[in-house]
């Protein structure tokens, strides 16, 4: 009987040891780095956009229905993000328009946004600080439009930078619909905004464009 | 924690069950294995995480039947860029396979020496529960289900201390694919004991 008890103790130890060795996955923040892109092949196969308009401030993806679900992160790198995005677009051969009017119609509108929704369940909508007021160079006022997303869900964490390109020529003002033809999500890039160094920002944003060779028009 | 509870429960059930039954033997193995075929396409890294338990009964001279449960974990991480249709993702991907074969097996022993050294060959069939998982950043993709499979095995039983025999074996596991779960196959080298 004593022998069997000894075996039992030894075997229990082996099982607990085996369980303790179960692989644990990511250990550091950097292990969670993620850059994902998606696009509309239909658009990029049939169009050759040359110009784009980009708001000169960072937008926020918010939960309009539940304000308590929005985080209050402070973002110190918004100008840098916009600069990096513009640099990449210039490298790819695009020309940025400063205004939109009847004589300046861009092919694309590029939105740079940060997700501040704490718990994401489904689709959330962008909000720009200037949408509550007057924006001198903006003829559109699209905050209540439906954004026709290609399938990259907003199931990211707070601080994720989301870049979205909209096909300007297909904006449906009657049905209030915007076609998003490219989207990039850089997960948690601003999760610790004050500590995010420029190199990380630069590398991750560059990677989003590098992973999207169909954007290159040169 | 659920896995630990599940296997402690199984272990206790086997331990009690095999000893409650007259002349039953209890087998425990430490399992190492390499994934093969499609399974290897998912994880190619050798697994050193696995064990199995078995109740084994002699039904005729040198012929045994056994009922076993096993747990093997395959794990691999890969930093890279992954393309899925129109979506491209650069990240560190963590891939896991948890395989749980539950087999009914038959064994034929061949005594090689008067000191008790034996060679044995066996063949098991039964259900496999296989869970595959991909983790990247905050996302998880899991695929799991039951599959029917089989497992041929060869090994040696070597007389050991405390009235136990040491087992050294090689075992091939194959589970057929289903509409929702791909095939699973692996080749394992196991060491354990039977008492």
Domain ranges of chain B: 2-74+97-132+143-194
Asked if pLDDT for residue A183 goes beyond 50, the answer is yes
Asked if pLDDT for residue A160 goes beyond 50, the answer is yes
Beta bridge partners of B186: B35, B173
Encoded tokens for B169: 């074996």
Domains identified in chain A and CATH numbers: 26-215 (3.30.160.670)
Asked if pLDDT for residue A157 goes beyond 50, the answer is yes
Provide the shortest C-alpha distance from residue B140 to chain A (in Å): 11
Residue range A149-165: mean pLDDT, rounded: 68
What's the pLDDT score for residue A92? 95
CATH domain B2-74+97-132+143-194 topology: Porin (2.40.160)
Distances (CA, A) of A204 to A30, A184, B90: 11, 10, 9
Encoded tokens for B113: 């020496």
Residue range A133-144: mean pLDDT, rounded: 40
CB A182 within 8 A of CB A38: yes
Which residues on chain B are in Cβ contact (under 8 Å) with A158?
none
E strand or H helix that includes residue A92 = helix A78-92
Residues A45-89: tens digit of each pLDDT:
999 999 999 988 888 877 777 778 777 777 777 888 899 999 999
Residues A96-113: tens digit of each pLDDT:
998 887 788 899 999 888
- Phi, psi (deg, nearest 5) at residue B100: -125, 85
CA angle B85, B73, A35 (to 5 degrees): 30
What's the pLDDT score for residue B44? 94
What's the pLDDT score for residue A138? 39
Which of A16-30, A153-167, B116-130 is least confident?
A16-30
Nearest CA in chain B to A207: B90
pTM assigned to the model? 0.69
Q: How buried is B145 (Cβ within 10 angstroms: 0-12 exposed, 13-18 middle, 19+ buried)?
A: middle
ipTM: 0.78
Q: Compute the distance between CA of residue B124 and CA of residue B85 in angstroms, rounded to an integer.
A: 39
Nearest CA in chain B to A1: B19
Q: Which residues neighbour A108 within 8 Å (Cβ) at sequence distance 6 or greater?
A: A49, A51, A52, A53, A94, A165, A166, A167, A168, A181
Beta bridge partners of B83: B88
Q: How buried is A210 (Cβ within 10 angstroms: 0-12 exposed, 13-18 middle, 19+ buried)?
A: middle
Encoded tokens for A189: 């890039």
CB-based contact B8 A12, cutoff 8 Å: yes
What's the pLDDT score for residue B74? 95
CB B68 within 8 A of CB B101: yes
- Residues of chain B short of pLDDT 70, as ranges, are 1-23, 137-139
What's the pLDDT score for residue B193? 85
- Average pLDDT of every residue of chain A: 75
């Amino acid at each position: 009987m004593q022998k069997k008890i000894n075996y039992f103790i030894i075997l229990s130890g082996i099982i607990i040891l085996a369980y303790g060795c179960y692989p644990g996955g990511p250990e550091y923040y950097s292990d969670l780095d993620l850059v994902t892109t998606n696009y509309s092949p239909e658009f990029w196969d049939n169009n050759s956009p040359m110009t784009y308009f980009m708001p000169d401030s960072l937008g926020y993806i918010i939960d309009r229905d539940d304000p308590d679900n929005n985080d209050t992160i402070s973002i110190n790198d918004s100008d840098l993000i916009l600069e990096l995005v513009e640099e990449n677009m210039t490298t790819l051969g695009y020309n940025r328009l400063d205004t939109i009017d009847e004589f300046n119609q861009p092919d694309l509108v590029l939105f740079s946004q940060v997700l501040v929704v704490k718990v994401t369940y489904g689709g959330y909508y962008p909000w720009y600080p200037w949408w509550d007021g007057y924006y001198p160079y903006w003829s559109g006022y699209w905050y209540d439009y439906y954004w026709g997303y290609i399938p990259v869900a907003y199931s990211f964490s707070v601080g994720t930078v989301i870049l979205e390109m909209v096909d300007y020529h297909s904006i449906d003002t009657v049905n209030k619909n915007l076609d998003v033809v490219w989207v990039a999500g850089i997960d948690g890039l601003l999760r610790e905004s004050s500590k995010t160094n420029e190199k990380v920002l630069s590398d991750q944003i560059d990677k989003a464009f590098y992973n999207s060779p169909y954007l290159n028009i040169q | 924690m659920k896995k630990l509870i599940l296997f402690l429960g199984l272990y206790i059930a086997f331990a009690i069950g095999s000893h409650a039954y007259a002349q039953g033997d209890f087998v425990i193995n430490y399992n190492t294995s390499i994934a093969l075929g499609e399974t290897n396409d998912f994880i190619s890294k050798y697994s050193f995480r696995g064990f199995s338990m078995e109740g084994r009964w002699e039904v005729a001279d040198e012929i045994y039947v056994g009922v076993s449960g096993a747990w093997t974990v395959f794990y691999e991480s890969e930093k890279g860029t992954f393309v899925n249709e129109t979506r491209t993702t650069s990240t560190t991907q963590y891939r896991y396979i948890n395989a749980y074969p539950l087999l009914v097996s038959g064994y034929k022993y061949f005594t090689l020496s008067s000191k008790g050294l034996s060679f044995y060959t066996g063949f098991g069939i039964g259900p496999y529960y296989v869970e595959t998982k991909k983790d990247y950043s905050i996302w998880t993709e899991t695929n799991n289900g039951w599959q029917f499979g089989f497992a041929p095995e060869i090994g040696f039983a070597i007389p050991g201390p405390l009235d136990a025999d040491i087992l050294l074996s090689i075992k091939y596991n194959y589970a057929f694919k289903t509409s929702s779960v791909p095939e699973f196959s692996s080749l394992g080298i196991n060491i354990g004991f039977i008492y």
